[in-house]
Amino acid sequence: MKIKFIFLLFIVFYLTIVVRLFFLQVIYSPANKSEYLKTNKLNPIRGRIYDQENQALVLNQNSYQLYVEPKKIEDKDKLLRLLSESLKVEEASISAKLDMSKYWVAIAGGLPQEQKDKIDKLNLKGIGFDYQTKRFYPEASLSAHILGFLGKDNQGEDVGHLGLEGFYDRDLRGLPGFVETERDILGRPILIGVQQRVEAEDGRDLILTIDKNVQEISKNRLLEGLEKYKAKKGCVITADPKTMAILSLVCLPDYDIEKYYLFNENFYKNLAIADLYEPGSVFKPLIVAAALDEKKIKPNDTYNETGQIAVGEYNIKTWNDKYEGKISMTRILEKSSNVGMVYIGEKLGNKKIYNYLEKFGFGQNTGIDLEGEASGYLKPKANWYPIDYATVTFGQGIAITPIQMIRAFASIINGGYLMKPYIVQKIISKNKITEIKPQVERRVVSQMTSEIIRKMLISTVENAEAKWDRPKGFLIGGKTGTAQVPIKGIYDASKTIASFIGFAPANNPRFLTFVILYEPQSSQWGSETAAPLFFEITKDLIVYYGISPSQ
Amino acid sequence: MKNIFLKTTGLIMTGLVIANLFVFISGIVISDEINNFEQKTDNLHKINLTLEKEAANLGSIKFALSQAKEFGFTNSTAPQYIDQLKFAYR
C-alpha cells in the first residue's frame, strides 16, 4: 500500500514537471525563448590610431547612453528636474523625448563615466544605462583632416567618414562576435544548456607616418601665418621626399573633431587632397627638369630675355615686367621668369610637355590613403591650344591638387622616382603586423637630372629676388609661387594663391615642405607670405630633427 | 530477496539524489563564478580604457604645453645678460 502511494506521488510529481515543460517549451516558445536563451552581440573594439612614435591620436573611451523606461517611473517631475540638473539640459527638451506610451526611450548618449556615476547616485526609478564606447582624441583637433570622424549610418551603426576613419573603415571597425547562453532567472549561465561563443575580432590599429610634433609645429606656424598675412585659408604639407611618407598635413580652417556635427561640411574638405587650384611658379622646376632630362637645355645655356612674348592673341610677361637680357636657365628659375619658361617649353616641345605632365601624375589620383581625394583634371591632348602649352610652363591653366604638386616635386629631388604618398605605415591586428613600404610608381627623370635641378633650386633660394630670414649655415632649396585665381574664366589680379615648396638639408633632403596660402591680403606674392612662413617652419624642423649646419 | 532488492534500490536512489544535488549545487557555484568573471572582465576592460585615456592625456602635447606654462617655460621669458649692466643694477 505504502509503495503504491509513493509510486503515485512520483507519477504526479513527474507529470507536473512534464506539463510545466510542455507549457514552457511548446506553448510559450519561441516568444519566451529570450527569457532563458540569451544572445548578445559582442561588439569589437574599433582600432586605435597612433603617430609614428606610437603616441595616441585616436583611442576609445567608456561612454554610456542614458535611457528611461517610462512605465517604471515613480515621480516624473522629480526625474525631469534631477536629470535636467545632471545633464545640463532644459527640462522641456527631456520631457519632449519622454513618450510615456513607450517602454524604452533614449535620453542622452556619449555620457562619460563620471556623469553616469553622478546620475546613478540619484537612485531614480525607471532609468538605466547602455554601455558604449566613443572615440577619444588626446591631441584634440591637431589632425582633424587626416583622421576624419566616426559618424552613424542609416541603421545607427558606427561608420567612418573622410580621412583615415573613412579610408580604413573596414580595418578599423573589426568583426562583431556573439554569445548565446541559456541563463537561469538570476541571469547565471546554465552549464548543461546551450553555450556558444564566437569572439569578436577587434579592429586593427594604425601606425601613421605622421609625427605629431611636426604636425603641431606646422599647425601653429600656419595659424600664425594666416593671421599675419591675412589669408583666407592655407595648408602645410611636410613629407619625406625619398619615400613620400607624409610627416604632417595641416589645412586651416579645420573643425572640432569631437563636435564635427556642429560644423558646415565645407570645413570637412581637406584642401591638401581635394582642392583643385592652379599652382603657379612652383610648377616651373618640373618643366625645367623635363627639359634637362630630354637634354633640350643645360643649366648654363642662355636665353635672351628682351621683353614680352606674344602667343597667339595673348602677351606673356614677367611678374614685374622687367627683363635682364641674356640669362642662364638657372637664372630663369631664380627670377621666376615666365617668358624664360615659355622659351624652355618651346625647346621641350608640346608633345613632351604633355607626356611629362602625365608622367608626373597630373590628372590621376595619387592614391594617398585618405578618403576624399580629387584626381585633378588634365584635359585631353586634342583640346590643348598653343597658349595652354605656353601657360602650363609657369603653372597656369592646369588644375591640380596640393598633394599632386608635392609628389611631383619630390620626384625631381629624390633621384627621379615618382612615389605613392602614404600616411599609414603599419596595420596591426591581433596576430599580424602588416608593414606598408614606400611604393615607386615610376621613374620620371634621371638621377643626373635630379642632382642638377636640386642645385638649381638651391641657387633659386640663394639668389632669389626677395631676401628671406633663412637659417644660417643650412643649404635649402625651393621655389616660390604666386598663382592667379580664375573666377568665371577671368583671372582676378587681387586674388592669388601664394605658395612655397622647399627642402632641407638640400644636399640630402630630410624633409620637403609645401606651404600654400589662399588669397593673402598683406601681400599677394608667395615670396612675401608663403616663403617666410616656410622658413619659420624649416627653422623649427631643423631644431626638432637636430640637423647640423653644412656650411 | 525482496528486502535486499528494495534496500539496494533505495540506496541507489538515495545515492543518485545526492549526486544530483551535488551536480546541481556545483553547477550553481560555477555559474556564479562565470558570472563574476564576466563582470570582472567587463570592469577590467573599462578600467583599461580609462587608464589608456589617462596615459595618453599625460603624453599629449596639450599636457606638455600646460606644464610648460605652469613652470614658466614660455616665449615671453626674456633673457637678461650680465654684460648689460643696467640689468644687473635692477
Q: How many CB atoms lie within 10 A of CB A18?
A: 10
Chain B: nearest CA to A506, how far in angstroms? 30
Q: Return the ∠ at Cα A316 (arms to A311 and A317), rounded to 5°.
A: 155
The pLDDT tens digits of the residues spanning A309-320 come to 888 888 888 888
Mean pLDDT of A400-427: 96
Nearest-neighbour CA in chain A from B77: distance (Å): 19
CB contact at 8 A, A515 and A271: no
d(CA A204, CA A181): 28
Q: Do B62 and A139 touch (CB under 8 A)?
A: yes
A-facing residues of B in 15-74 (CB < 8 A) are 27-28, 30-32, 34-35, 42, 46, 49-50, 52-53, 56-57, 59-62
Percent pLDDT > 70 in chain A is 95
Q: Is the pLDDT of residue A491 over 90?
A: no
pLDDT top residue among B42 and A240: A240
Block residue for cell numbers 628659375: A333
Check residue A144 and give its pLDDT. 94
- A138·B35 Cβ contact <8 A: no
CB contact under 8 A, B31 and A190: yes
pLDDT of residue A32 exceeding 60: no
pLDDT exceeds cutoff 70 at A29: no
Instruction: Give the CATH architecture of domain A62-136.
Output: Alpha-Beta Complex (3.90)
Nearest to A56 among B31, B50, B56 (CB): B56
Q: What is the mean pLDDT of residues A421-436?
A: 95
Q: What is the mean pLDDT of residues A425-450?
A: 95
- Give the CA diameter of chain B: 124
Q: Quick one: average pLDDT of A433-458? A: 96
A309 bridge partner residues: A316
Give the pLDDT of residue B88: 47
CB contact (8 A) between residue A113 and residue B60: no
Q: What is the pLDDT of residues A116-166, one digit of tens each?
A: 999 989 888 889 998 888 999 999 989 999 999 998 888 778 899 999 999
The β-bridge relationship of strands A417-419 and A424-428 is unpaired
Mean local confidence (pLDDT), B53-65: 91
Which has more confidence, B56 or B89? Answer: B56
Least confidently predicted of A27-36, A358-367, A402-411, A475-484: A27-36
Q: Which of A6, A62, A210 to mutate to test the interface with B (most CBs of B within 10 A)?
A: A62
Name the 3-class secondary structure at A134: strand
CA distance A133 to chain B (A): 9
The grid cell for A526 is 608667395
Closest-CA residue to A504 (of A442, A467, A441, A457): A457
**Mean pLDDT calculated for residue range A74-90:** 88
For A279-308, what is the mean pLDDT? 94
How is chain A split among helix, strand and coil, in percent rounded to 5? 35, 25, 35
pLDDT for A53 equals: 94
Stated pTM of the model: 0.85
| Averaged pLDDT for residues A227-242 | 95
| Per-residue pLDDT reduced to its tens digit, A334-358 | 999 999 999 999 999 999 999 999 9
Say how far apart CA A252 and CA B50 lie, in whole Å. Answer: 31
pLDDT band, residue A202 (cuts 50/70/90) = very high
> Closest to A55 (Cβ–Cβ): which among B34, B50, B59?
B59
> B56 to chain A, minimum CA–CA distance in Å?
6
Reported confidence tier of residue A376, pLDDT bands at 50, 70, 90: confident
Cβ–Cβ contact B90 with A under 8 A: no
Q: What is the pLDDT of residue A482?
A: 92
Of the listed ranges A187-196, A256-265, A375-384, the least confidently predicted one is: A187-196
Angle, CA of A412, A414 and A419, to the nearest 5°: 85
Among B28, B32, B49, the residue with its CB nearest the CB of A60 is B49
Q: What is the DSSP string of A11-42?
A: HHHHHHHHHHHHIIIIISTTTTHHHHEEEEEE
- Return the CATH number of the domain spanning residue range A212-545: 3.40.710.10
Provide, rounded to the nearest whole percent, the portion of chain A with pLDDT above 90.
Answer: 61
Q: What is the mean pLDDT of chain A?
A: 90
Cell of A262: 556642429
Would you state the pLDDT for residue B68?
Answer: 86
Comparing CA positions, the residue from A162, A137, A160 lying closest to residue A368 is A162
Please state the domain extents for chain A.
Answer: 62-136, 212-545
Mean pLDDT on A528-534: 95
Q: Is the pLDDT of residue B90 over 50?
A: no
